[in-house]
Amino acid sequence: MGAFLAFLLASRALALDAVPLQGTAGSKLREVWALAREKYPDAKLISITGASSSDGRVRCSPASPFQDGWRFTFFSPSAGEFLMMAECGGQTSGPLRQLRAKAEELSRLTVSGKFIDSDQALKALARAGVKLEPIEAKTPGKRPFSLMLSRLDDPRFKDHPMVWRVTGGGESWVVDAVHNEKFDPSRYGHDFSLALASAVANSTTL
């Protein structure tokens, strides 16, 4: 009962639409998280990664969710273990143990509270003037955008805000996953500069 209540409390924090689009990163997050908690009741979400078209949804084969579906990384503080789950078309796979350097504090930054889904992240870029359609047109039949939801690992941002990293057409962008807009360093006490924006967009993430 206690584990189930903890899951309900965690679920309240997820910023998903009441009826989310099918195929987005968040459309089956609750179900995937519940399965992760069957192995580790204290599993915390670290990141979500995947590739999509400009609508933020994956096109994948349910038979191979780890290959081309959404991939979810969780961390269990009690076990000190990372595990991965995958989902595609409602079919889930995992959990699989993931080996990482346990000493890395940044690798354990959890995604929590309210955040936007993958379709909203791409809409935020479109509002900011990023032309998504030409990028997609260059890759017919493929998913031109790679997305990753995680905490920003740049040490200049002490609160490590939650962001969507998006790459496509050889370019990279960062979307503020809380404020639903292209990432603005001034929101977090940093003057905007092209150098800082480039460093944030192109830095490696966990």
pLDDT at 1: 47
Closest CA to 29 of 111, 105, 103, 104: 111
**Interval 107-125: pLDDT, tens:** 678 998 899 999 999 999 9
Which residues lie below 8 Å from residue 72, measured CB to CB, with a gap of 6+? 29, 32, 33, 36, 45, 47, 48, 84, 85, 86, 87
Tell me how crowded residue 65 is: count the other CB atoms within 10 A of its CB: 24
pLDDT tens string 62-79: 888 888 899 999 999 999
Which residue ranges in the chain fall short of pLDDT 50? 1-20, 103, 194, 204-206
pLDDT value at position 2? Answer: 45
Q: pLDDT at position 101, please?
A: 61
Pairing mode, strands 181-182 and 91-98: unpaired
Sign of the CA dihedral 114, 120, 121, 126? Answer: negative
Distance between CA 87 and CA 66 in Å, rounded? 7
